[in-house]
Structure 1
Amino acid sequence: MPIPLKQTLLFNYSFFYMELFDNHKKLFSTAALFFIVLTILVAIIPAWRNQYNNAPLPNSVPLSADAAKGKEVFISNGCVACHTQQVRNISMDKVWGERPSIAADYADIHRQSIWVNTATLMGTERTGPDLTNIGLRQPSKDWNLVHLYNPRIVVKESIMPSYSFLFEVKENPDKNDVVINVPEAYLYGKKGKVVAKPEALQLVAYLASLKQTKLPDGSPTPDFLYKQQSLAANNNSQNVSGNTLNGEALYVANCQSCHQANGEGLPGAFPPLKGSKVVLDDNAALMVNIIMNGYTGREKEGFGPMPPVGTNNNLSAEEIAAIMNHEKTSWGNNAKQVSVDEVKKLMDLAKKVASNQ
């Protein structure tokens, strides 16, 4: 009597699984095959497709050789534990970049090597400031080197550790050595000139490369959400222009890291604003031009070049007026204040000067 087809299939099915579980080679081979197929479908193919779906922004600039090595220094010293590289789409993050970060900002980041995975360095905690746009916010090489040697030199309240091991002290630096100006009170060990090692210069090159890429023309710019109203003024510019911005807060955010809270700067590195002829001058044209276009006129005195803070940080005429009036009326300074309208005219003049250079 023939066996029904259904029973035959059931018997063969049961026999196959009994043999599969009894034969460890077949069992592990089958499991490995399932794992490989699932990995291809779930991980490899989507990742491969993402390379085409998410391209870098057209204006993005690849890291230079020094900046790439500096990124490795950044990683090896665990800087990502305290610094993020992501501008969130909320109003409080507007100080870190011109726009919220998008996926394309990270599309050109590749594996460090065949053995080391990709490091986006977006971070998860901000014990220190975000670094997404630090190359524009703080492009001063001198400031960054001093800050690495001992952060307390330029930011007294800083809890960042010192990276003095990236420097060495020499009595007679070589011609090509990069010497940084460190006050004697902050020197570690023997006296002499503090010289930056290649690792320090590479790390600074990496920080200088961190700049938000401009979006292509016509591309919509993501909005910052939950916008906050401007802080109330401290009257530094209110009497002159009706400006209600807090000049002191703006000074802290844009100028204090170099010129210090007391306006006295850092001897040999950053000039003082206290008693400065430029600040006290009733003609504010030079002061506005320096803010908008930067300044290199005091390099022979040992001071590094000042970056164009107003241009880099997209400061408005109201913000610049508030900062200037804070500087003109603080630390014993008693200069004529400026109006917003006056600053607007001088900003236009500064733009013409920049375009003719």
Structure 2
Amino acid sequence: MEFFNNHKSLFLTAFLFFLGLTILVAIMPALHNQENNAPLPNAEPLSAEAVAGKNVYIANGCVGCHTQQVRNVAMDKVWGDRPNIAADYADIKRTDFFRNTATLMGTERTGPDLTNIGVRQPSKDWQLLHLYNPRAVVRESIMPAYPWMFEVKDKPAKNDVVVTVPDDYRKDVHGTIIATKDALNLVAYLQSLKQTKLPDGNAPDFLYQKTPSTTEAVGAKPEGLNGKLLYATNCQSCHQANGEGLKGAFPPLKGSPVVDGDDLNKYVDIILHGYDAREEYGVMPPVGVNAKFTENEIAAIINYERTSWGNTGKKVTPAEIKKIMEVVNQEAKK
């Protein structure tokens, strides 16, 4: 009993017991994980701009509403091609000696998961407009706007990145809206968020798979593909549900000469490889290449666009699109 009456011995024993448990339960497993985890072989490190953008992401509390973890359940498949694994986070370094930003995995999805946002929405123009006012591109969005990341100038400089904002969202702003370095760095970070392919190219199946219906399945037979669903998933964020786009930002598909026209090569090439030949609109990214569209999916999207919003274009078949894809892909390699 003398031991319990000696506070020095009691506190020292408690401290040593706590220290031993800390080494055994926390430190040794952490060191073991460091030794047995490494980034995937083809993982790309963040650029200097993306690293700076990550700091902007942290400073503005983005992690409070967005996760960066695709869980191993079927409902998360919309956020990435596969569940995340430890190797996806193995190359994340401390911000500095005093700060460890960990993995920014987040704990809440008030907004969508961003693990693969660089593939899902690679457009710099869309991301900048979304930062300036999210309602400009997603009417129902509850995300706050970040106007302090932009400047207004009477005349932009040669290297300034101009953000085209629809008139309804400019309020009392007179002049040209310019993206600041913080905005550009943050977008660079978002564009860098892409799931790295596994070395063998095979992605593990998600748990609790739901059997898709013929109207939902993207991999179904051509007649079972839902062009409206494909459009909503891949095109609607820019061109809008009504096909009218956003004036000055994203072109309309309603009444579009490309959609209703006879130049299928141009139409398919735009879906696959994007388009940057328009002065009045931002650059369209290679949506089809990023999403790995097959001829069936492209045909379904084209047929939906050609039969919606008053458009009257002729329907196409996957066989037609397959031949055109071979041609435009060859031209893109030149």
1:317 correspondence with 2:299:
no
User: For residue 333 of structure 1, what is the aligned residue in structure 2?
Assistant: 311
Seen in structure 2, the aligned counterparts of structure 1 residues 142 and 219 have a Cα distance that, compared at 3 Å, is closer
Tell me, in whole angstroms, the C-alpha distance in 1 between the residues paired with 2:145 and 2:324. 41
Matched residue type, 1:207: L
Tell me, in whole angstroms, the C-alpha distance in 2 between the residues paired with 1:283 and 1:65. 42
Q: How does 1:142-181 map to 2 (within 5 A)?
A: 142-181=125-164
Seen in structure 2, the aligned counterparts of structure 1 residues 350 and 93 have a Cα distance that, compared at 3 Å, is farther
Which 5+ residue runs of structure 1 have no aligned equivalent? 1-13, 234-240
User: For residue 267 of structure 2, what is the aligned residue in structure 1?
Assistant: 287
Post-superposition CA distance 1:22-78 (Å, at most 9, x none): 443333333222222221222111111111211110111111222112112212222
Q: How does 1:1-357 map to 2 (within 5 A)?
A: 18=2, 20-216=3-199, 218=200, 220-225=202-207, 226-230=209-213, 232=215, 243-298=223-278, 301-354=279-332, 356-357=333-334
Tell me, in whole angstroms, the C-alpha distance in 2 between the residues paired with 1:87 and 1:349. 36
Tell me, in whole angstroms, the C-alpha distance in 1 between the residues paired with 2:63 and 2:101. 14
Tell me, in whole angstroms, the C-alpha distance in 2 between the residues paired with 1:349 and 1:224. 35
Task: State percent identity of aligned pairs.
Answer: 63
Q: CA deviation at 1:229?
A: 1.4
Given that residues 303 and 315 in structure 2 are in contact (C-alpha distance below 8 angstroms), is that contact kept between their aligned partners in structure 1?
yes
Seen in structure 2, the aligned counterparts of structure 1 residues 63 and 37 have a Cα distance that, compared at 3 Å, is same
Tell me, in whole angstroms, the C-alpha distance in 2 between the residues paired with 1:272 and 1:122. 36
Given that residues 230 and 245 in structure 1 are in contact (C-alpha distance below 8 angstroms), is that contact kept between their aligned partners in structure 2?
no
Tell me, in whole angstroms, the C-alpha distance in 1 between the residues paired with 2:33 and 2:139. 45
Q: TM (normalized to structure 2)?
A: 0.91
Q: CA deviation at 1:93?
A: 2.7
Tell me, in whole angstroms, the C-alpha distance in 1 between the residues paired with 2:145 and 2:76. 26
Given that residues 89 and 222 in structure 1 are in contact (C-alpha distance below 8 angstroms), is that contact kept between their aligned partners in structure 2?
no
- Larger radius of gyration, structure 1 or 2? 1
Tell me, in whole angstroms, the C-alpha distance in 2 between the residues paired with 1:43 and 1:258. 47
User: For residue 7 of structure 1, what is the aligned residue in structure 2?
Assistant: none
Post-superposition CA distance 1:76-99 (Å, at most 9, x none): 222223222122333333332222
Q: Secondary structure at the match of 1:243?
A: helix
- C-alpha RMSD of the superposition: 2.0
Given that residues 81 and 203 in structure 2 are in contact (C-alpha distance below 8 angstroms), is that contact kept between their aligned partners in structure 1?
no
